[in-house]
Each structure stands twice: as C-alpha cells, then as structure tokens.
Amino acid sequence: MGPMTLAAHDNALVWLGFDGQKHAPDTSKWPLTTGHPVLNQAREQLLQYFAAERSVFDVPLDLSGGTAFQQTVWHALLGIPFGGTTSYGSIGHALGKPAAVRAVGGAVGRNPVSIIVPCHRVVGSNGALTGYAGGVDRKIALLQLESAP
C-alpha cells in the first residue's frame, strides 16, 4: 500500500491517508510524535487489518473537518459492512438525496480517514471500480483483502 500518514488530536483520529493521495492536507508542518495513544491504537488496528485479523475498527474518530453534507456521507460510509460494497447512488438514496450522486462522489473522495471510514467500498452503479483518492490500484487491493477467505 505504501507509506501512510496518520494524525490525531488529543482523543481522536482526524486523518489517515496514503502518500500522494488526492485532496490530502499539507502535512509538512505537522509535528511528528511517538507514544500518542490514538495513533498507536490506529496503527495496531491497521496492522491487524492488513494481516486479515481485523474487520472492524474502534479507533475514536473526529469527522468534523468537512461540511455538514460531507460529514453525513462519511458517517454513511461507516455503515458499509466489511467485504461489501455500495454505490454512490445508493448512498444518495439512503441520505434522501437521490440526485446528489456527484456530490456524494465528491464527499467520498475527500474522506479524511481512509480505510477506517471505508470509502474504498463505494463503486459505480454498474460495479465499476471508479476513482479512489488513494489510487484505484489501492482500492482494488483493499477490496481483494476484504474478500479473501
């Protein structure tokens, strides 16, 4: 998957992204730290996930960094089960905004907590593996990881 950056405030994870990810914040001035409990918890759970030992995350999240609509979409993503997928249109319908497919796509693409907020599980209405801010190759790898027996 390549290098990833994690960021947290005192009690919640606020960013998890891949190097080179679209819509990533400028992390160059973020302080580097070790021993942060939320970052350690997220790191451990990600290692378990990649080792196929974890399918549910319980890291505390702060998703307040987006618009109200983006936050609603990000919370909807949390309801997509491990190993499952849904479409942008289905999310729009579930939110009572069936015509908002592009807006849903925009919000999904700006998800600040990749993997844990599973935006990789969103596909086109025909099942096509449409864009992924971390790169379509990573999206494919994540979906394959989750579908492995």
Distance (Å, rounded) from C-alpha 10 to C-alpha 63?
14
Catalytic residue among 6, 119, 122, 143: 119
C-alpha span between 138 and 49 (Å, rounded)? 14
Concerning whether 128 is annotated as a catalytic residue, the answer is no
What digits encode the pLDDT tens for the residues 115-148?
Answer: 999 999 999 887 778 878 888 999 999 999 999 7
**77-107: per-residue pLDDT in tens?**
999 999 999 999 999 999 999 999 999 999 9
β-bridge partners, 16: 6, 113
The alpha helices in 31-84, defined as continuous H runs, are: 37-50, 68-77
Q: What is the pTM of this model?
A: 0.91
Question: Which domains are assigned to the chain?
Answer: 4-50 (no CATH), 68-147 (1.10.10.10)
